[in-house]
Amino acid sequence: MIKRTLCIQNAGHLNLNNNQLVFTDKEGIKKTAPIEDIGYLIIENRYVTISVQLITALNSNNAAIIFCDEKYLPTGMLLNLDSNQVQTEIFHTQIEASEPLKKNLWKNVITCKIRNQAALLHKLNKNDQPLKIFANEVMSGDTSNREALAAKYYWHELWGSGFIRDRFGPPPNSLLNYGYIIIRSAMARALAGSGLLSTLGIFHSNRYNAFCLADDMMEPYRVYVDELVYEVWYKTDKPEPDKEFKQMAIQLLARDVNLEKTTRPLMLAMQQSSASLARCYGGKQRKLSFPDFK
């Protein structure tokens, strides 16, 4: 089932009533949504209050609650800590995963990421041949750092030789940032639903990052944001994420993607990717499931 994404942009109060999310704005106008239909609640306005009862209900339904800063960029997220019946068992397999297994999984992630980047360049009538070569050269653990070589070529081919992908860099970096945060949040929710610990990454490891695994598993999905930003940037030259762009970024979660010869919404594909990781940790599967960009 495709879950709804709600974005609260005006000041007001959020509470629970009869298993319905109720938003009451400053004029007293109320809007409602069934809790079971909600997958993501994005709170952009800093003058929104929310009841603990609603937070608990959303968490119980594995809905992600995302908070934004004064620039309307997501800065924090709440997720359910008990969203899978065999979570403890899966935690153990994840923690005890061997280094060879993790290196092989990382090779899988990076290979898929580079192949999807090549597919986007091909779709845009740009030279994708170097990326195809890099994808075939990825080694266990990506010890030859083909990800970085591919990224350098990819960004220059996509945006021009002067572009540098930097979180705090000039546009369209801010558009990419917003889109990636939406994808990251969706992946974190999918991982929680599969009983995995987002803090414990395959490759990423940062004592200050609670979502290292989401950062790992979202890599092959970044290309969908890249395509959106490319189209928006060259059509409108938007320097910063506005209301229209944010809506398009949120709608990416319902975009159809191709995974294992079937078409499904990106949100559901992420659930399949995270479930495949849990099976890999448990020794029931050897390869991660990621979509092929078309």
Q: Which amino acid is at 166?
A: D
Q: Which fold has domain 4-78?
A: Ribosomal Protein L15; Chain: K; domain 2 (3.100.10)
Domain boundaries defined on the chain: 4-78, 87-281
CA neighbor of 113 nearest in space, from 154, 162, 167: 154
260 contacts: CB under 8 Å, gap ≥ 6? 272, 289
Tens digit of pLDDT for each residue in 278-294?
999 999 999 999 999 99
Q: Give the span between the Cα atoms of 144 and 231, in whole angstroms.
A: 32
Mean pLDDT rounded to a whole number for the chain: 91
Distances (CA, A) of 46 to 5, 74, 261: 18, 11, 43
Q: Give the span between the Cα atoms of 266 and 251, in whole angstroms.
A: 10
Q: Which fold has domain 87-281?
A: Four Helix Bundle (Hemerythrin (Met), subunit A) (1.20.120)
Tens digit of pLDDT for each residue in 1-11?
678 889 999 99
Q: Give the span between the Cα atoms of 268 and 263, in whole angstroms.
A: 10
6 contacts: CB under 8 Å, gap ≥ 6? 21, 33, 38, 40, 41, 42
The pLDDT confidence band at residue 179, using thresholds 50, 70 and 90, is very high
User: What pLDDT sits at residue 86?
Assistant: 66
pTM, two decimals, is 0.84
Q: Give the span between the Cα atoms of 277 and 273, in whole angstroms.
A: 6
- CA 147 to chain centroid: 19
The single residue listed with the structure tokens 């979502």 is 211
Tens digit of pLDDT for each residue in 150-172?
999 999 999 999 899 998 899 99
DSSP SS3 for 76: strand
Q: Which residues pair with 256 in a beta bridge?
A: 265
Backbone angles phi, psi at 5, to 5 degrees: -115, 120
